[in-house]
Amino acid sequence: MIEPSVLVVDDEVQFVETLVKRLDRRGVKVNSAHSGQEALDTLEGSGATKTDVVVLDVKMPGMDGLETLALIKEKHPLVEVIMLTGHATVESAIEGMKHGAYDYLMKPCDLDVLMEKLNAAAVKKREHEAKILEARATMISLRRGD
Amino acid sequence: MTTPDTTDRSSTPRISVRSMVLGLALIVLAPLAITGAINLKQFQVVYRNKVENELAVMIERHSFIIDSFIQDRLSDVRVITREHPIERLSDADFLRQVLNLMREEYHGAFVDLGLVTESGVQIAYAGPFNLEMADYSSAMWFEQAFDDESYVSDVFAGLRGTPHFIVATQRRVGDETVILKATIDFEAFNAVVEGIRIGDTGFAFIINREGKFQTRPQFEVSLNQAPYAGVLDGSIRSDRIHVVDGENRLGEPSIFTFAPLKQGSWLLCYQQETADALGEVRRMVRVAIIALLIVAVGALVISYFVSRNLAYQFAEADRERTVMTHQVIETGRLASIGELAAGIAHEINNPVAIMVQEAGWIDDLLNDEDPTSEENLEEINRAVSQIRTQGDRCKEITYKLLSFARKTDPSVREVVLNDIVEEVIGLTSQKTRYANVQIVKNLEPDLPAIQASPTEMQQVLLNLVNNAVDAFETPGGTVTVVTRAEGDAVVLKVSDTGKGIPEANLGRIFDPFFTTKPVGQGTGLGLSICYGIVEKIGGTITVESEIDEGTTFTASFPREPIEEPQETKPNSEREGQ
In a domain, B11, yes or no: no
Q: Cβ distance A106 to B353 under 8 Å?
A: no
In a domain, B373, yes or no: no
Q: Which domain, by its residues, includes B194?
A: 189-279
**SS3 for B183?**
strand
Counting the structural domains of chain A, the total is: 1
Question: What's the full length of chain A, in residues?
Answer: 146
The pLDDT tens digits of the residues spanning B383-415 come to: 888 888 888 888 877 777 776 665 545 567 788
Instruction: From chain B, pick out residues whose CB is under 8 angstroms from the CB of A91.
Output: 408, 410, 572, 575-576
Same domain, B151 and B227: no
How many angstroms separate the CA atoms of A31 and A123, rounded?
18
In a domain, B365, yes or no: no
Which one of B263, B279, B295 terminates a domain? B279
In a domain, B494, yes or no: yes
In a domain, B118, yes or no: yes
As a whole number of Å, the end-to-end CA separation of chain A is 36
Eight-class DSSP state of B314? H
Question: What's the full length of chain B, in residues?
Answer: 577
Same domain, B181 and B195: no
Q: Cβ distance B169 to B73 under 8 Å?
A: no
In a domain, B474, yes or no: yes
Instruction: Quote the pLDDT of residue B427.
Output: 76
Instruction: From chain A, pick out residues whose CB is under 8 angstroms from the CB of B353.
Output: 12, 15, 107-109
Element (H, E) at B208: strand B202-208
For B255, how many CA atoms within 13 A lie in the half-sphere containing its CB? Answer: 24
Instruction: Quote the pLDDT of residue B527.
Output: 85
CATH number for the domain harbouring residue B200: 3.30.450.20
Same domain, B156 and B207: no
Same domain, B245 and B182: no
Same domain, B552 and B510: yes
How many angstroms separate the CA atoms of B112 and B102, rounded?
10
The pLDDT tens digits of the residues spanning B122-180 come to: 888 888 888 778 888 877 778 887 777 888 888 877 777 777 888 888 888 777 788 88
Gap from B390 CA to chain A (nearest CA, Å)? 12
Same domain, B112 and B219: no
CATH number for the domain harbouring residue A68: 3.40.50.2300
The pLDDT tens digits of the residues spanning B252-286 come to: 888 888 888 888 888 888 888 888 888 777 787 88
Same domain, B97 and B176: yes
Q: B247 or B328, which is more confident?
A: B247
How many angstroms separate the CA atoms of B405 and A126, rounded?
41
CATH number for the domain harbouring residue B454: 3.30.565.10
**Model confidence at B11, in pLDDT bands (50, 70, 90)?**
very low
Residue A79 CA from chain centroid, whole number? 6
For residue B81, give the nearest of B205, B172, B155 by alpha carbon. Answer: B172
Same domain, B153 and B228: no
CB contact under 8 A, A86 and B410: no
Helix B564-576 to helix A90-98 angle (10° resolution) is 80
Query: Residue B361: which of A21, A86, A95 has the nearest Cβ?
Result: A21
Sign of CA dihedral B499, B501, B502, B503: negative
The pLDDT tens digits of the residues spanning B368-388 come to: 777 666 677 788 888 888 888
The pLDDT tens digits of the residues spanning B438-448 come to: 888 888 888 88
Residue A32 scores a pLDDT above 70: yes
Instruction: Report the complex ipTM.
Output: 0.77
CB contact under 8 A, A87 and B352: no
CB-count burial class (<10 Å; 0-12, 13-18, 19+) for B173 = exposed
CB contact under 8 A, A108 and B361: no
The pLDDT tens digits of the residues spanning B62-110 come to: 888 888 888 888 888 888 888 888 888 888 888 888 888 888 887 767 8
Percentage of chain A modeled with pLDDT above 90: 18
Mean pLDDT of chain B: 79
Instruction: Quote the pLDDT of residue A9.
Output: 92
Neighbours of B341 (CB within 10 A): 22
Same domain, B163 and B243: no
Same domain, B479 and B433: yes
Which one of B213, B246, B279 terminates a domain? B279
Instruction: Quote the pLDDT of residue B138.
Output: 79
Same domain, B433 and B543: yes
Enter the pTM of the model.
0.44
Same domain, B96 and B220: no
Which one of B279, B303, B337 terminates a domain? B279
Residue B557 scores a pLDDT above 50: yes
Q: Which domain, by its residues, includes A28?
A: 5-144
Q: Cβ distance A54 to A85 under 8 Å?
A: no
CB contact under 8 A, A91 and B575: yes
How many angstroms separate the CA atoms of A59 and A68, rounded?
11
Element (H, E) at B554: strand B550-558
In a domain, B337, yes or no: no
The pLDDT tens digits of the residues spanning A84-126 come to: 887 656 777 788 888 888 998 888 788 889 999 999 999 998 8
In a domain, B213, yes or no: yes
Instruction: From chain B, pick out residues whose CB is under 8 angstroms from the CB of A111.
Output: 360
Instruction: Quote the pLDDT of residue A54.
Output: 92
Neighbours of B329 (CB within 10 A): 15
CB contact under 8 A, A108 and B358: no
